[in-house]
Structure 1
């Protein structure tokens, strides 16, 4: 039955940056589909999210740590394996953004964004990939962005990192698809999250954005959750190196 291919019962997932926003919605959706989930936050994970995960009947694990620290990435994977018994799904969702004209952009902000949004994606994928390749199966889902395709304005490090995420997704898929590990990415459009708070509060910019989105609204974290379940499930086994835009039609405009 086709619906059975979307079930994740018995699978173990790690979702970085799952304390809020897109990550929290994805983690809860994976649990509702049957997966056990390792939740990760930079400093904490809200009790209400843990309660929601618990209600699904899925086993869970709470992990914390700042992904700006390179040594943390393999540790998170090992903690997931130790706590849940394995890792079948990795969602590289954690991210940050800094806004400033390129001519004034500081190297500190540049390095922090690149580490969090791109380097950690490689490190986590590398660590999880070692286990997935040994078991002959696995799903890695990277959270890219519309700025994987477009340059944006006053966010040079974010655009560079998300462009890199898209290319890294393809590079890993080229190496691992034949070995049973699918690597894909989701490119969210303009979502109602903390990262877009400033844009949504700017009445002129918000109106300009909404006028371009064919769907006529900002996206919600739940809009991304279904795509994540699909890419984490057996229903997507022949999809490799794909960047799935969940953007209300923005790129087609």
Structure 2
């Protein structure tokens, strides 16, 4: 097996502990003054990449772990976090605040990044918690013509360039085997991401972070979808109590349920 050059895409999203609110214009959720962090599924991807190196589970070893993120300047925060967790370097693709990229555009960007970085393994979260598209990894594999293994709960390296990936399915688990180069998307049971220590946070500030644009990769932000309106879900109606079975039957008849 040749040495791994791992590319890990990460995304800055509203923190999972924050309850999103629709903005006044009803064009999306409010982001101003709201805590952001790394997409939880992407944390798993960074952690798994670092563990592959630490455990020496890949016969050829790990030559490089590069994280990449497209977003406004604040996206560099999640890149620094990823480097504090153990990634070697980072690429920030500058995109204006609010100028969201659709999954296909991200996949096209990542294909160019893979080619430029000579990556032979891409590990990314199965989805981001803001749009829950669950499309980027599959699209990237299609554009590259690489095999893909999605929703990984275990990644094991075998002889040669073979990789076995296990995922949970209804009623059991499914294991697939493919050869590098390949794309792997991660699920929540894969690992438990580490907390970056203060010394590693300080070291991450000195690691290389390249600043790029979409144009540098020959990609344009082609929007195929238009958000018409974003609204809060309707509030749930409060339940009522009945004293006995007859009261329940009467209420059900009143509601037209029986």
Q: Does TM, normalized by the shorter one, top 0.5?
A: no
Considering fraction of residues, name the structure with more helix.
Answer: 1
Structure showing greater relative contact order (alpha-carbon pairs closer than 8 Å, 6 or more residues apart): 2
Q: What TM-score bracket applies, with the shorter chain setting the length?
A: 0.3 to 0.5
Larger Rg: 2
Q: Which has the higher strand share?
A: 2
